[in-house]
Structure 1
Amino acid sequence: MSLRDRFLADPFTVEEDGEEHDETKLKQPPATRKELWSYYLYYNGDNGYTMFSYIPNILQQLAYMNGHNPNTPDIRGCDMENTMAPCNISWARGTSIPVASMMLYVQAISFSIQFLLFTTFGSLADYGRWNRDILLIATIIGCAAQILPITLVNNDGSGWGGMMALNIVALISYGTSLVFYGAAFPVLSDNLPAVRHALTNPALTREEKLTVSEKWRNYVSAWSTIFSNIGFLVMTGVLSGASFYPWHNGDVLGVDPLYNYIGTVVCGGYWVLNAIPYFIFRPRGRSGPPLPEGSNHFTIGWKSIFIAFREIRKLKYLFLYIFSYFMFSDAVNTTNQMIAIVQGEITQFSAQQITIMNLVSAVTSIIGCLGFLWLSRRFGIRTKTNLLIILFLSGLVAAWGCFGISLDNFGIKNSWELWAFYAWSGLFTAPIWAWQQTMLAELVPKGKENLFFGLFGVVNKASSWIGPVVIGAITEHTSNLWKGWPFILGLFIIAFTLVCLIDVEKAKLQVEEYQKAHPVDESDDSSNEYQQQLEKTAAKTEDSEKYAVSP
């Protein structure tokens, strides 16, 4: 598919081919321009910006206001002028833990709940008629969770528990919206006029019809992703500009704590405005296929994982790569969650700095992805080499953070270091998610893409809570968040070593032998149902960390 076809083609223009088409055999209503553009707009609003910026910033700030320095436990409220000083918050069974540990546990709780929910109930997104209703409910809850923090704007810190609950609900509802939004796109794209015309053309073979369907699925997927990034850039741009507005007391708005609350309301309202058209223009009768015979919504996701793990044992290098991905996915996710906590302490919860740093990261991420693509084509750098370079450069952040264990003036403890991190992560960490998929594509047998790409997404989701739990426990027992950096560095080192051990040429020979022993029967659609379900659920849930990982 050429660049022009990928972005500028019109799926509503159908060329006459002289064949007789009978669209009455198609069960779904045809897609309209309004439905397609409203689908893009939804992702424009549901861009996840506030989920990993203002909301955690508010929670951390309220916790500081209600917490206490462990050296003076009877004095309520930590020193807001010295946010790098120790600060504990009440926790379960009358104990207290560092605020940093609480923030990490919140992330771990939300992602572990998402993993269980999406694996168990993710099939509701793809099969039957529940997609629209659940997406609507998730959208309402998600928008409310982003707007409701404004009720705590004058809170003295005692409402931190309620804010923690809102944070968890917001993350889960946001993740749910991405799952059910993503699951709607195959049915939408397959009912574009150009695709319907091909599906009802008796002169086309099954493979030719699948080629047309894949072309327009790629088209819809590419444009929806573009709109999500546009929404993210719009929010960072608008809120960055608004942060310089002088407030009533002469202070810049971005420095005032109120700005965090304004940011959540703006992001929540932006999602509402962009979501409404989709629920208006989505036609009645739009639904997914029925469940495979003998399956149910509660077990199909877990069966898919079991089948994937059973098959992957036959492919040594693919298994090795999946394990390495588990390591570096956890390392990158936890790095960004650590930075989210550290930046609140360093900037004293300055929403202005956090907003502009996210803007820097958004811009450098684009530069980084395009830059690695150019280097690869210009110098013929292979996928494995590119991935190793990115892993090495990303791991340097963890090594950098280790200096903060014993130093007070270096080791991601200053504002300039935060700016450097955001630029560095955009340039050298953001490309990791593109190259890891390219690497996987080289190791996966033909016909098993759904199965193993789906397992890839499940591994990403499963690893998302492990790092935060470990770092949270380390911080709880040492009262030093920076002592968690060696753990993250260790994950990067293990991941880097495992990728080095992968012999791509031998892996390809192994794939060929596997394909000879396990030929794919493309005429048997039912045999691929579990593979498709694993991909549909897992690949979409991977997006729920999209901006936590690479803002």
Structure 2
Amino acid sequence: MFSAVSYFDWNRILTLNREYPTDEEVKSSGETIPDWDKVPQTTAWERWAYYFYYNGNNGINYYSYVPNVIQYLTAENGWDPSQGPQGAVPCGESTSCEVRLGGSTISVDSLILLYNGLNALIQALVLTTIGSLADYGNNSHNILLVVTIISCAAQIAFLAFNEDASQYWGVPFLVALVFQVSYGASLVFYWAIFPSLAVNDPKVRAAKRNPHVSQEEYAVIESFCRNHISTISTAWSNIGFFVISTLNIIIGNALAIRYNVSWDEVPQYGNSIYSAMCGAYWLLCGIPWFIVQKKRPGPPLPADANYFTYGWKTLGLAIKEYRRLPQTFLFLGAYFLLNDAVSSMNSVTQVLTVSLTNYDGLMQTYLSLVQAVCSIIGCFLFLHVQKRFHLSTKTMLQISTGFTAIMPIWCCIGIWSPTIGFRTQAELWIYNAWFGIFTAPFYAYSQTLMSELVPIGKENMFFSLFGIVSKVAQFFGPALIGGVVAATKNTRIGFILCAVANVLPLIVVAAINMERAEVRVKVYEEQERRKSETSVDELLQHGHHHNSDDDDDDDQVVHEEVFYLPQQQPSLSSVTPSSNHPKSSDGYQGGYGF
């Protein structure tokens, strides 16, 4: 969206921003404060607490230790069907393995893939029910707090499952489901916060008040702030990935000394200990956010709204907005394919990694350490490239997606080759490094691009829809691959579907027109402002929508867009800026350090 602004104009924007007064100077001058300034501005403490929360909620346990535990305990209760009748020969390393499920049998690989799909489906149902409630009152803060506590407690609860738990492997499966569903929900409500942090950043609000900053230039500043917060928070997530991996390596080597074995022969109960460490670390890192977060409550929930059905009604309303926000929904379609590709790839490689490492949690921790380091490098590298060449969020997402697609294409070789194509431990190291450098930025830029396509005041509703699309994709991909694996008895066939799903989004994202999307979002915000006197309850009862559904109205909407742009405050230019503007309150040099 900001690629059209020249380097000269960009430097002028930074200069104007440095010379413009802060909120405190405007208030002390006695000037009238605009409506948007009545919402608490983002503080440096709040921003760092936001980063620190993601440092703890880094996702390592979602893909490593908990899946290790449940797959190991299930396999311990299974048998090798190629070596005789049911139960005759236990499962061995790198052999097929089946387990009884109800009245039938299923391979452990298929069971894990189908479990991943069920996990995503439940997350989609939960997010649909509670997602949009976060836009009202202080629900966003409360919901994030509850799911954080539940998720941390479930991870710590794995201390109760040792090797003997294979006799009742369904119980750890259930606890794992609680953990992973609450973890997925925490991400959605966390992501919905950062657009508000960006819009209320002191520098962004100063630019919004500045009569010398055009609407296009303001869009540049806000977009860079969103990218900065999103990318830095993703980097901090990977810093947490690195820290907890290092701590678990120390614990793993201590366990090796305790049991007098080598580091790669630590008992499987070590995975449960690593899981508890992840839960405790997240809980510790999450506390500051809930202490320093500024309250920016939404409107009260309608009096007669039902907490269990309101989310579904709001979801229906959100889906009906596709005519008013077509570019937003086009991206949601692309994101479905993107997330389907990444989650399916994670599911397939997760199953194969467990087999290639023989459930070695410490070995996987070393792999995670490589991924964490490369993810940190990748996030900062992509941010540097974006700033150096003034590339848009959409372009950066395309670059990340393109490089990500190379890996499943390479892995497809392993379907026919016994020596390469995710066949060796050396390829595990390469995969984790590649994923870190090129795929980790995908999460940051997909969130940022979504935030640029979401109207202000509707963040939780649309990010809930964003999360639902993500979870449906995570259900659809692994479930489809699980069915294919069950039919073909070949887990690697899933790489073909992953490769196709990685290439298609490149075409769909390329079709998104960001300039047209910006106009649509501004028009939507103004229309909603004009309808603010109409209660949400009345909207739900009568299904009232603005008459922009017809294509014939599109030209009129675009023609009138100038009337929907935020009003500037020329009188504020009389306030004298302080002399310490070259370094802002959050520590970034030169005003806009993004």
1:310 equivalent to 2:319? Answer: no
Rounded to whole Å, the distance in 1 between the matches of 2:458 and 2:133 is 22
SS of structure 1 residue aligned to 2:24: coil
Shift of 1:349: 0.8
Name the residue aligned to 1:109.
118
Rounded to whole Å, the distance in 2 between the matches of 1:312 and 1:226 is 31
Name the residue aligned to 1:250.
260
Name the residue aligned to 1:410.
420
Rounded to whole Å, the distance in 2 between the matches of 1:385 and 1:397 is 20
In structure 2, relative to structure 1, the CA distance for the partners of 1:76 and 1:430 (3 Å cut) is: farther
Rounded to whole Å, the distance in 1 between the matches of 2:393 and 2:226 is 25
Rounded to whole Å, the distance in 2 between the matches of 1:30 and 1:455 is 27
1:170 equivalent to 2:168? Answer: no
Name the residue aligned to 1:398.
408
Shift of 1:213: 9.9
In structure 2, relative to structure 1, the CA distance for the partners of 1:129 and 1:355 (3 Å cut) is: same
1:30-69 aligned at under 5 Å gives the runs 40-69=51-80
Name the residue aligned to 1:525.
529
On the 8 A contact 2:324/2:524 being kept in 1, the answer is no
On the 8 A contact 1:45/1:271 being kept in 2, the answer is yes
On the 8 A contact 2:238/2:375 being kept in 1, the answer is no
Shift of 1:50: 1.2
In structure 2, relative to structure 1, the CA distance for the partners of 1:342 and 1:123 (3 Å cut) is: same
Residues 411-443 of structure 1 show CA distances to partners (whole Å, capped at 9, x for unaligned) of 21221111111112223333334555677799x
Shift of 1:123: 2.2
Residue type matched to 1:495 in 2? P
Residues 430-482 of structure 1 show CA distances to partners (whole Å, capped at 9, x for unaligned) of 3334555677799x699999698876554333312111001110111222211
Of the three residues 308, 325, 337, the one matched with 1:327 is: 337
Name the residue aligned to 1:359.
369
Shift of 1:111: 1.4
SS of structure 2 residue aligned to 1:408: coil
Rounded to whole Å, the distance in 1 between the matches of 2:166 and 2:265 is 18
Of the three residues 464, 478, 489, the one matched with 1:468 is: 478
Rounded to whole Å, the distance in 2 between the matches of 1:46 and 1:485 is 28
On the 8 A contact 2:325/2:520 being kept in 1, the answer is no
Shift of 1:488: 1.8
Aligned pairs, number: 510
In structure 2, relative to structure 1, the CA distance for the partners of 1:291 and 1:525 (3 Å cut) is: farther
Rounded to whole Å, the distance in 2 between the matches of 1:34 and 1:377 is 25
Of the three residues 281, 300, 304, the one matched with 1:290 is: 300
SS of structure 2 residue aligned to 1:157: helix
Name the residue aligned to 2:438.
428
On the 8 A contact 1:364/1:423 being kept in 2, the answer is yes
1:74 equivalent to 2:48? Answer: no
SS of structure 1 residue aligned to 2:418: coil
Shift of 1:227: 4.3
Shift of 1:249: 3.4
Rounded to whole Å, the distance in 1 between the matches of 2:95 and 2:408 is 22
Shift of 1:85: 0.7
Compute the TM-score of the two structures, normalised by the length of structure 2.
0.70
Shift of 1:180: 4.0
In structure 2, relative to structure 1, the CA distance for the partners of 1:74 and 1:4 (3 Å cut) is: farther
Rounded to whole Å, the distance in 1 between the matches of 2:522 and 2:40 is 38
On the 8 A contact 1:139/1:177 being kept in 2, the answer is yes
Shift of 1:490: 2.5
Rounded to whole Å, the distance in 2 between the matches of 1:420 and 1:4 is 40
Aligned sequence identity (%): 33
Rounded to whole Å, the distance in 2 between the matches of 1:526 and 1:73 is 71
Name the residue aligned to 2:556.
none
1:151-166 aligned at under 5 Å gives the runs 151-155=160-164, 157-166=166-175
In structure 2, relative to structure 1, the CA distance for the partners of 1:432 and 1:48 (3 Å cut) is: closer
Shift of 1:374: 5.3
Compute the TM-score of the two structures, normalised by the length of structure 1.
0.75
SS of structure 2 residue aligned to 1:431: helix
Rounded to whole Å, the distance in 2 between the matches of 1:277 and 1:437 is 23
Residue type matched to 2:91 in 1? D
SS of structure 1 residue aligned to 2:241: helix
Rounded to whole Å, the distance in 2 between the matches of 1:462 and 1:406 is 31
Of the three residues 259, 263, 268, the one matched with 2:270 is: 259
Rounded to whole Å, the distance in 2 between the matches of 1:102 and 1:134 is 31
Rounded to whole Å, the distance in 2 between the matches of 1:136 and 1:79 is 41
Deviates more, 1:263-272 or 1:486-495: 486-495
Shift of 1:404: 2.8
SS of structure 1 residue aligned to 2:99: strand
Rounded to whole Å, the distance in 2 between the matches of 1:336 and 1:104 is 10
On the 8 A contact 1:187/1:287 being kept in 2, the answer is no
1:100 equivalent to 2:109? Answer: yes
On the 8 A contact 1:255/1:351 being kept in 2, the answer is no
Shift of 1:117: 1.8
Residue type matched to 1:108 in 2? G
Shift of 1:487: 1.9
In structure 2, relative to structure 1, the CA distance for the partners of 1:392 and 1:21 (3 Å cut) is: closer
1:447-458 aligned at under 5 Å gives the runs 458=468
Residues 45-87 of structure 1 show CA distances to partners (whole Å, capped at 9, x for unaligned) of 232221211111111111110111123343267434x2x2101
Rounded to whole Å, the distance in 1 between the matches of 2:87 and 2:426 is 32
Pick 1 or 2: higher relative contact order, CA cutoff 8 A, min separation 6.
2
Name the residue aligned to 2:129.
120
Residues 286-310 of structure 1 show CA distances to partners (whole Å, capped at 9, x for unaligned) of 7433247997733453134323333
SS of structure 1 residue aligned to 2:163: coil
SS of structure 2 residue aligned to 1:96: strand
Rounded to whole Å, the distance in 2 between the matches of 1:105 and 1:27 is 49
Rounded to whole Å, the distance in 1 between the matches of 2:39 and 2:457 is 28
On the 8 A contact 2:127/2:468 being kept in 1, the answer is no
Shift of 1:134: 3.2
Name the residue aligned to 2:3.
none
| Long gaps (5+) in structure 2 | 1-9, 16-20, 537-594
Residue type matched to 1:338 in 2? V
Rounded to whole Å, the distance in 2 between the matches of 1:21 and 1:215 is 28
CA RMSD of aligned residues (A): 5.0
Rounded to whole Å, the distance in 2 between the matches of 1:175 and 1:464 is 11
On the 8 A contact 2:98/2:105 being kept in 1, the answer is yes
On the 8 A contact 1:65/1:77 being kept in 2, the answer is no
1:368 equivalent to 2:372? Answer: no
